[in-house]
Amino acid sequence: MDTDLDRLLSRLRNEPTHPGLIGLEDAVFRRIAALPQVSTASQFRLGAVAAFGAVLLGIASNGFTPRAEASVTLSPFGPSNPLAPSTLLVGSQ
């Protein structure tokens, strides 16, 4: 297996062009031009609906979340630190 990328790319550059690729770019651009065009008003309506949906989704995701419980503040010198090495090494005893 040849893994020298420069040699492989130079071989690819020196290969003749496949005959099926000769008019491909023009054909692609013709098909793109033949696609139906969407009016500016339709684009605006679709954008407004998407923005409204995003706002509703943001409100819904923020409004229905459960209240956060008060977190336990961890103090490195506190008497009941659950992450202290002495409590972590004891395990489930």
pLDDT tens figures, 18-77: 888 888 999 999 999 999 888 999 999 999 999 999 999 998 888 776 676 666 666 666
Q: How far apart are CA 56 and CA 52, in angstroms?
A: 6
**Total number of domains in the chain:** 1
Give ∠ CA 59-42-46 in degrees, rounded to 5: 15
Range of the domain at 42: 2-89
**Cα separation values, 55 from 45, 59, 60, 62, 78, Å:** 15, 6, 9, 11, 44
* CB 83, CB 74: distance < 8 Å: yes
pLDDT in tens, 72-90: 666 666 666 666 676 666 6
CB 2 within 8 A of CB 8: yes
Rg (CA), the chain: 32
